[in-house]
Structure 1
């Protein structure tokens, strides 16, 4: 299963990016696609059981995480969607005190989608512990909404790519000023 010592931020970023908003391309359209994605990241064993309800939970978790990451752009308090809270509440997790620090672990065996989704939920707390959670952000270009890890020194990055999304935003602002 997934390595407990790695930085969980890329896993969370990649999960949110299973939906490419700009191209309307969704990697998680079927239970089998979800099973393949989870197995490909070592979150479940190959052949894990995945239902339509698991897929709905995964999509709610993904979109809730996208909104949570969008809130990392400023000091404002975020109201997260009820769907995120419902998705997290549906995941079977428990606290364990084994190892060097307390951590969340799934209750389900690794053969279910719930176990893989629980590992994703636990990765949120691992990212908080690693200090990378507030650096996970969503591109502020409204047509993009791609998740990225803000590695800038002052944590002020706004776009997934300055050369693409930053340029689009600045060009639109320039043209609006020129028209006015």
Structure 2
């Protein structure tokens, strides 16, 4: 697996810290945010717990990335979700020209720098072509992020067996109900 593939998987995992179906949030508190960032190698162990404003930036980043991934189901647009624009503007990043290609690197330390590493992962995923393959499930009760590895990039659900089946069954029942009306 390449480093950029890891970036796409990291972004997927970050978006999936909110389970929409169960309403379970792995980033519910500043301490949980620090724990998640540390467990994913983005924040050194023993770093100070972030403040509430940094937690808000993290959840805005997550929600904005989810909306951006949802947009990957449709033709490209230039509009970013407002919460993503706001979150990205708060993150300390700079361009570095060391290495084989220009990259974004975090400025400083702590939780803001860890969140900036997530923003840099967007650029890495874009550079390797995996960014447009990051999508969220179209089942409205799910919205789980996944990497679309289908050949024609047409996958709509995190699981055809669960979410695809729910959506198709709902549509079938609606059509049946309409056809039975006088």
TM-score in terms of structure 2 length: 0.93
Partner of 1:179: 177
Cα-to-partner distance string for 1:52-89 (whole Å, 9 max, x where unaligned): 11100000000000000000001152533322111101
Query: Structure 2, unaligned stretches of length 5 or more?
Result: none
Q: How many residues align?
A: 176
Structure 1 stretches of 4+ with a deviation exceeding 6 A read none
What displacement does 1:8 show? 0.6
- The answer to whether the Cα contact below 8 Å between 2:136 and 2:146 also exists between their aligned partners in 1 is yes
- The answer to whether the Cα contact below 8 Å between 1:71 and 1:78 also exists between their aligned partners in 2 is no
Counterparts in 2 of 1:135 and 1:127: CA distance versus 1, 3 Å: same
Partner of 2:46: 47
Partner of 1:23: 22
- The answer to whether the Cα contact below 8 Å between 2:105 and 2:116 also exists between their aligned partners in 1 is yes
Match of 1:146 among 140, 144, 147: 144
Cα-to-partner distance string for 1:17-59 (whole Å, 9 max, x where unaligned): 0000000000001111000000000001012221111100000
Query: Structure 1, unaligned stretches of length 5 or more?
Result: none
Over the aligned positions, Cα root-mean-square deviation in angstroms equals 1.4
Between structure 1 and structure 2, the one with the greater Rg is: 2
| Whole-angstrom CA distance in 2 between matches of 1:57 and 1:71 | 21
Partner of 1:128: 126
